[in-house]
Structure 1
Amino acid sequence: MFIPPEADHVTSPVEKTSGHGRTRRMATAVCRWCGRLRYELAPAAVSFGMTCMGWLHHAVGVDPAAYAGYGLGVAATAGLTWGGLKFKSSVATSLGIASTATLINSGLGAVTGPSVPSLISGGVVTIASYAVYVPWLVKTRHERFNLQIKAAKTAPLPDGMGVNIGQPGVTGDTEEETALRRALVALGVPAVDVSRIVFTDTGWYAMVTLPPGKNTSAHAVIAKRQQLQANLDLPGRLRLAEGPQANQLIVRMQSHDPLAGPGIPWPGTRISSIEQPIPIGIYPDGSEILIDIVDGHVLIAGGTNKGKSGAVNVLAANLVACDDAYLAGIDMKPGALELGPWQPNMVALADDADTARQLLVWLKGEMTRRGKYLATLRGPNGERVKKWTREHGKYIVLIIDELAELLRQAPDVASELMTLMQVSRAMGIRIIAATQSPSEQAFGGKGTDTRQQFGVRIGLPVNEPTPINMIMGTGAYGQGWRLDELDLPGKCMVSSERYFEPNEGRCYWITEHQILETSLEHASPDAETAEEGRPHPEPDPEPEPTPPTPPGGGGGPRGGRPVLRAVPTFPDGSRIPDNRQPLWEALEKAGPEGLTKPEAVSRGICNHHTSIGPWLSQWVAAGWVQEDSKRNRAVVYVLTAAQHTPAPEASATDEEIAACRTSL
């Protein structure tokens, strides 16, 4: 019998713990099971009953008259069998054979009592009866299925068709079960069995066993959910999911929504460490939705105006209060409209493709540095330390708002992002990525798909079923992760190591005033915007301000806020690969005089001039480099006038040169 976990509250604690209550529940379950399968158990029950009657007769004593009675009964049933065979009556023949076997079994029990011959006789009779009974039962049920389907399509169903739940019919124990059975019949998928409907505070649920077949599978019924709900004609919202077996369907009807309303107010920050679970909302039973950041990267995805910003801000509001975490952000809205209020609490905030590229490159370098640092550590027994904890320094959490827009504007950062997603967890770096456009391109494309790296997935309402499997995983739609049925902004379903089953909840609603107040409370004392606390800071007059130092130090063995250097890029904005950067910088430094391939070899830029030939050819074809005369019979390559940047004068100091390349 199907009893989901959420049904536990329907039984009182006293009844659960008392022996009388357990005995009563067990007896009730056995009686209900026997009632549902009474047609399947009928031959065995008759055979067992007649055997017991024979043993009882043996116990009270058997006189000659009783022997004569058994003999006459066997003779009569044998005659009935002979008559059925003679006049070709299958009913008379079957009845005669069954009666003869039953009387022989009972008579043998009366003569021998409880003995091995009597048990063997009872077993043989039972097996023989099932060999005849099962084909008849299957045929009869198929005929009833066809009759019910025809009746449902042509006229109202009479209550007399299947007035029980043991035999497939259209009338159940309750009004809801009757409606469910009739709705399935009208859909062309009669139920083989419907488990006892369990009523909860929000509605009811049950599990339906469907006939075997492709067109009657649970997946096929889920695809017709709207038609099934129309057939039910009951108040509430219908939810369907696949059961443990392919032909089992879990049906949930929600008649009351405790999460309805304008929003659930955010109760405030209640954690002080990133290693503590972060509450982001509540479930219908009042329990909180907890997110474990240390368990893996977090994906937040949903449609436009469906609560994505609220979930991001609730996570950020909790993270800024953690003493063992640094916060960084990438907000692809110009001016960082979403994450801007948290800038006083962040070590870095990027709001365009260039600064986002710099931040990801810095994070990749920090990941490498932390990995080398962990390699120097040993545990109490001399074992290598392979996982970053708060004992080694602060965690780093990167929040990316609108991941799809980042990869659209800077597709070259997909490799850095994939490396961080796959490797950085062991080095104490976590990524929270939010997107309103869940698509293959939003996760890096086929070659760099990052979806499998998200250990925690927060699915918000979507407008159609297509993105559900992309957000929650392959097959999620059929398993009940119906994000398209979430009817209010902020409603969500969470998949993580803590939550395996689809369960509808709702995220907290955090106001702009709470965001500003929390940001100011936990802002860095030396952050430039901490005093003003502007939710939308104005552009700084200095083009390349120096990042402030972090509050309280830390951040690993070196610590400190990141000093982000400008990442070299080609004229089209794409990043220059590390192996091509020396050649490009040499061309920039050469200026109008240009550079030849032999000169590049002599300066140690490459081992042989053929290795840089394809690169120069690509740059010439792109219009970034031009061929300008020859020097010592070698072609001179010069940056085009539009792309050439004069090299710094020799009198410039190293600090001035570094300042020119400092960004953010």
Structure 2
Amino acid sequence: MKNQQMKRHARRMRRNGLQPMVVIDSNGPVPDLAAVIIARGLWRYRSEIGPIALALVLVAASLTLHLSHPGWWIGILGTAIVSASALGLVGDRIGLSLRIERLYAATVALSAGGWLAAATALGVAYRPLPQIILVGTPILSVPWWVHRRRRARVRVERTLAAWPEISQSVGLAGSRVMSAVVDVWGWRARFGLARGQTIQDAIGKIPALESALGTFRGAVRVYPTRDDRANRFELRVLNIDPHANAIAWPGPSVTTITEPIDLGPFEDAAPARVLLLRRHALIGGIAGSGKSGGINVLMGNLSACGDVVIWAIDLKRGMELQPWAECIDRLATTPEEARRLLRDAVVVLEARAATLAETGKRVWEPTRDNPALVIIIDEYAELAEEAADATSYSDSIARRGRAVAVQLIAATQRPTQKAMGKGAVRSQMDVRLGFRVRERKDVDLILGQGMLNAGWHAQTLNAPGKFLVSAPEHDTPRRARAYLLTDETVRATAEKHTGSRPPLDEVSRRAIDEATILSDPEPRDAPPQGKGTATTPRADATGPQDGPEVVLWQMLSQAPDEGTPIVHLMNGTGMGRSWIYYRLQDLSKTGRATQTTRGRWRATS
């Protein structure tokens, strides 16, 4: 009765802001208080004393088993061997991601099981079993005590134990911890929100959470939970920044455009995979934010796809995309070339649509014989400014190109309506890659209206190559970093895949040829015939001589012994890779041209 009165008095004093005095009754509260203090200390440091507790449990178990079931030692030893083998082989399934962790767990399991089996059969006092457990326990405890992830787990547990005070200080009073996991980069926990609180409230408290948790700036992330419950959120805290340094490109992640492309790792090391088939993509960010690196990752993967033809527009005279020219079927570097390229892309679109209508199909399925057409436009704002009439073609592609696998990938710094040509291009972009921006309002320009308020803070990205990806399969703001391709990697990748690039399909090629003849029916003047001048081959004996064919034959005739590269033939004729290869194959069949080495041709005489 007296104790209850003292507790009520203490509660009243706390409500009034006073610290109650602790009065110890000599008749008995001292042992109770000591027991509570000891129990709290054992619980607080339970991780540190874990190895000692395990040793005590082994001793107690061996005493019991030796007196009651000494013959069980065979089963105990067998169980220890099986458990150690399982931990060593499949321990990653229970969180032992590192090989050294699995080896340590297997060693402890085998040592503990072996000692318990021996003590069960011979008795705990049988020499040298007491000496073994006294010496072996501290030795095997050292890796456990110094293990970084264990110590991190202890810190997280103590932090979460103080969550009621933390939540009160940051303005999320009433929220509660549901679960927590420690991983390689830090830790993450699920929280239940109090009635009336939403994830938007948690997102708005991120700076306060960083201060309360004592992390570095930018270390806290808030995501929806997987079940997408409105009264829950996931808190992720980084101890180290996994994107602090550039990440080397491991090589192509796909061989077909029907598979998602790995652009780079998220902060939890999961790959940022994006499906591009039948989707248009927009890449935005200020100068130096890493847009070119993102384009290089896309080019490296698309060049390895055997069912994709790549066209590209680079109005900086090819400065960015020229290293990939060997894998690009058609590269436009001037406004007029860009206009013709986009016009031909619309021709391809319409021809494929007509073919699908005739065959009763709804979508163009990419194969090597019928590849998808991907058009990459670097600095789209330059196109809208220098070739404004060409943007009407890109607008048509954006609206009608999905079903026929004619797709746009546009990169620009600020995709304003003016920069995007005042059409529907931006609104048709299903995939958005937002690199660093300088102004907060640019987040909505790149990623979509309302994304800034939803937590997509691209203005906080602090290194080149870091980006946020918004796509149908990525609807939460997770940071990723694009892989880095060095100039040597770009050169080696382009050379590796140049010989395996697919040609444009027959339907599209025929449509482009017909459109070219209709737009320019008069053949260009051929050079005068005479001594030392090679005659120009014809596609057939009665057809007119085409201007690009004249230029092609001249370049082959004047080629050195090692031959002329395909890229030079493309630049000289103004035609695409498929057109060049088809003409070279015709000339090779008639014995007029020969391939000297891979990617180099010359006339036979």
Task: Please indicate the TM-score interval, normalised by the length of the shorter structure.
Answer: 0.5 to 0.7
Is residue 280 from structure 1 mapped to residue 263 from structure 2 by the alignment? yes
State the partner residue of 1:254. Answer: 238
Which residue number corresponds to residue 558 of structure 2?
Answer: none
**Residue identity opposite 1:480 in structure 2:** G
Given candidates 372, 396, 418, the residue that maps to 2:354 is 372
Distance 1:475 1:248, change over 3 A: farther
Q: What are the within-5 Å matches in structure 2 for residues 149-548 of structure 1?
A: 175-177=158-160, 181-182=164-165, 184-187=167-170, 189-196=171-178, 198-201=180-183, 202-207=186-191, 209=193, 212=196, 218-219=199-200, 222-223=203-204, 225-235=206-216, 237-241=219-223, 244=228, 250-261=234-245, 263-333=246-316, 335-378=317-360, 384-390=361-367, 393-445=370-422, 448-523=423-498
Counterpart residue number, 1:557: 507
Q: Which runs of 5+ in 1 are unaligned?
A: 1-10, 16-171, 379-383, 526-550, 569-577, 582-652
Change in 2 beyond 3 A, CA 1:493/1:193: same
Contact 2:347/2:511 (CA < 8 Å) preserved in 1? no
Within 2, Cα distance between the matches of 1:12 and 1:655?
A: 65
| Identity value in percent | 27
Map 1:17-32 onto structure 2 (within 5 A): none
2: CA distance, partners of 1:246 / 1:459: 26
Root-mean-square deviation (CA, aligned residues, Å) is: 3.9
Letter matched to residue 325 of structure 1 = V
1:367 deviates by 0.8
**Separation in structure 1 between the aligned mates of residue 187 and residue 548 of structure 2, nearest angstrom:** 69
The offset of 1:401, in angstroms, is 0.9
CA gap 1:176/1:367 in 2 versus in 1, 3 angstroms: same
User: What is the distance in 2 between the residues matched to 1:175 and 1:389?
Assistant: 55
TM-score scaled by length of structure 1? 0.50
Instruction: Supply the distance in 2 between the matched residues of 1:407 and 1:659 (Cα, whole angstroms).
Output: 33
1:560 and 1:336 map into 2 onto residues whose CA distance is 27
CA contact (8 A) 1:347 1:561 kept: no
* Aligned match of 1:636: none
TM-score (norm 2): 0.54
Cα distance, 1:400 vs structure 2: 0.8
SS in structure 1 at match of 2:507? coil
Contact 2:312 2:375 in 1 (8 A): yes
1:241-289 CA deviation, whole Å, 9 max, x = no partner?
A: 567566765533222223322x111122353322233222223444332
Conserved? CA contact 1:491–1:505, under 8 Å: yes
Larger radius of gyration: 1
SS in structure 2 opposite 1:505? strand
CA contact (8 A) 2:548 2:574 kept: no
For 1:420, the aligned partner's letter is I
Count residues with an aligned counterpart.
Answer: 377
Q: Which moved more, 1:369-378 or 1:387-396?
A: 387-396
Asked if the contact 1:196/1:206 (under 8 Å) is kept, the reply is: yes
Distance 1:218 1:501, change over 3 A: closer
CA contact (8 A) 1:460 1:483 kept: yes
CA displacement 1:592-649 (0-9 Å, x = unmatched) = xxxxxxxxxxxxxxxxxxxxxxxxxxxxxxxxxxxxxxxxxxxxxxxxxxxxxxxxxx
* 1:457 positional shift: 2.3
CA contact 1:399–1:432 (8 Å) conserved in 2: yes
Could you list the runs of 5+ residues in structure 2 that have no partner in the other structure? 1-90, 96-154, 521-543, 552-572, 576-605
**1:119-168 CA-partner distances (Å, limit 9, x unpaired):** xxxxxxxxxxxxxxxxxxxxxxxxxxxxxxxxxxxxxxxxxxxxxxxxxx
Distance 1:336 1:567, change over 3 A: farther
State the Cα distance separating 1:231 from its structure 2 match. 4.6
Question: 2:190·2:235 contact (CA, 8 Å) conserved in 1?
Answer: yes
- CA distance in 1: counterparts of 2:94 and 2:281, whole angstroms: 41
